[in-house]
Amino acid sequence: MDWLQQLINGLALGSIYALIALGYTMVYGVLRFINFAHSDVLMLGAFAAFFLAPVVGTIFPAQSYLGAAVIVIIAAAICAAIGMLIELLAYRPLRNRPKLTVLITAIGVSLFIEYTCQHKAVFGARTRPFPKLIPDHNFHIGGIVIGNHDIVVPVVTALLLALLWLIVQRTKIGMAMRAVSFNPQAAALMGVNINRIISFTFGLGSALAAVAGILYAMKSPGIEPLMGIQPGLRAFIAAVLGGIGNLPGAALGGLLLGLLETIAGGIPGISNYRDGIAFAILILILLFRPAGLLGEVKTEKV
Amino acid sequence: MQLGAKRWLFAAVLVALGVSALSGHFNRFYLGVAIDVGISIILAVSLNLINGYTGQFSLGHAGFMAVGGFTAAKMTLLLAPVVPEAAHPALFAGSLFVGGTVAALAGLTVGLPSLRLRGDYLAIVTLGFGEIIRVIFQTSETFGAATGLTGIPKFTTLFWTWSVAALTVYVVASLVNSTYGRGFLCVHDDEVAASAMGISPTRYKVTAFVIGAFFAGMAGALYAHHKQVLKPDGFDFMKSIDIVVMVILGGMGNTVGVILAAVLLTVLPILLSDIAEYRMILYSLLIIGLMLARPQGLFNLRRRAERSPAAN
């Protein structure tokens, strides 16, 4: 029964990775660069919830699913705005520059958010306990114990994935996103407002990151300005693992990485190397499938 | 740079020797800064061969530095008590070489997957290798696990640091200016055209990784014997980013610019130590501002490549 327990833990962790990885992969799809600041948006989402929780607690019953949902929605909206703002100020002026320039700018933005938030006038570097958003409840099924958190996380992820799928596949703006991702020039010629689509993509990705940040904070002992780096890095690996730019790939990569990491963490001899395992898996997979699990291998043409 | 490069190297080593002989008269603090600057120059110039000249975006340079540093430090820690005092310089030179060589082997293992990967995929794999190397040192009892190595003998002097720095600059500059070395630029500019001309991109990429890693390993060895303590935490992905920023700031594939950037970025934090809490915020704003205003690098006066580096 122990493996089932591990499986559920891995699924919860993997769902969080998947949510973050979707943001990386969507931005990569439209702009072809890795948004390093994404992991900091996740941190900002957790902090938004931290400051919102006491306020929302006065209106809605504290530690209730309804209150938590309100907090998550407001935090997602705040982060969507922050994501759009980052794109507008830092990335839009670099639209036609080499990708490397944008990548370095992204690293700069990430460092800026981290160090600014560490300053004592902003959040400070210390770890703060994250407030309880939903009541604790354990289910005993057979010999295993499942916390309600481990159920909430995959369910929320599944709902958001379904919503994202609907947006991307069934709405006009989703069609425009796919068009920009396929060929920006052709999309622009067809009357798609590229800047608006890119802005929307950043908003969507950042909102998902905010939700992931809150879910991650609910499980971790506390929140601090550098909390986004580790899950962000893992999600980044997950996105590459699934084939960057590919939405189902990001979800699959995230789940796979979460499961493998949890399982490896449970094996005595290997558990010390847990931090390195994600990368080792990534390198092994890329050796055999250079474009990721679901990515398309493009042949270079002259 | 190419004309009389050997003379420059010779002059640089002589200057280093001369300054080092007088080093007893200098303030120890400034001496330490001068050594830090030398180590940064080695790291930045060697990364410039991989990132700047060959166009392979690598985020794992700190990993090679760690390999060289830990290998060399372990070697001197084991051998220093048994070797007579007089042979210590030879031991140090040996440890520098061994550290560099082991790092070069690590460079070979990272270079090999780069045969199939490019752009962002290569960046993430090099980052991954760097992190794996760090985790291995963090877990390995031989290398002191999370506390790292302490009590490393203080062998690094100004002479050694600046000689290795001069050697790095000499090797990288004369390599890319040689007939053989034009292949690096060729791979950078257009891989398909390079292979059509009979230049094997694979061989050049791996060569760049091996040579770059060798010097990064030497830098790590110098660093270990300068700071006398070595912690795996110090070689995380942030350290790699620092080196990448030096290369970008100096201008990719511009050795002189990269040296100036390495000096600037090592000295600047020390000058700004009075406003330490704003220092890193300023640093990040500098990166963003630079990319918006001067993406070709601060010190790149002639623009060699109009085309995007690390394209595809």
pLDDT above 90: percentage of residues in chain A: 37
Mean pLDDT of chain B: 81
The region of weakest confidence among A129-138, A140-149, A227-236, A250-259 is: A140-149
Residue B21, in any domain of the structure: yes
| DSSP calls for B194-223 | HHHTT--HHHHHHHHHHHHHHHHHHHHHHH
B305 has pLDDT over 50: no
Residue B260, in any domain of the structure: no
If one counts the domains in chain B, the total is 1
Residue B135, in any domain of the structure: yes
Backbone angles phi, psi at B190, to 5 degrees: -165, 105
User: Which amino acid is it at A56?
Assistant: V
- pLDDT bucket at B301, cuts 50 / 70 / 90: low
Query: B178-191: per-residue pLDDT in tens?
Result: 888 888 888 888 88
Q: Which residues of chain A lie closer than 8 angstroms to B250, CB-CB?
A: none
A185 token code pair: 């020039």
A298 has pLDDT over 80: no
A205 token code pair: 């990705």
Mean pLDDT score, B206-217: 92
Q: Which range of residues forms the domain containing residue B136? A: 5-237
| ipTM of predicted assembly, 2 dp | 0.80
To 5 degrees, how large is the angle CA B180–CA B181–CA B184? 125
Question: Are B125 and A90 in contact (CB < 8 Å)?
Answer: no
B175 token code pair: 């390599």
User: Between A33, A93, A283, which is nearest B125 by CB?
Assistant: A283
Dihedral sign (CA B240, A35, A78, A232): negative
Q: Is A93 on the interface with B (CB under 8 A)?
A: yes
Question: Are A290 and B124 in contact (CB < 8 Å)?
Answer: no
Residue B297, in any domain of the structure: no
The region of weakest confidence among B20-24, B47-51, B239-243 is: B20-24
Q: Which residues of chain A lie closer than 8 angstroms to B128, CB-CB?
A: 237, 279-280, 282-283
- pLDDT bucket at B23, cuts 50 / 70 / 90: low
A66 has pLDDT over 90: no
Residue B176, in any domain of the structure: yes
Residue B252, in any domain of the structure: no
Residue B60, in any domain of the structure: yes
B310 token code pair: 């690390």
B87 token code pair: 């042979």
Residue B117, in any domain of the structure: yes
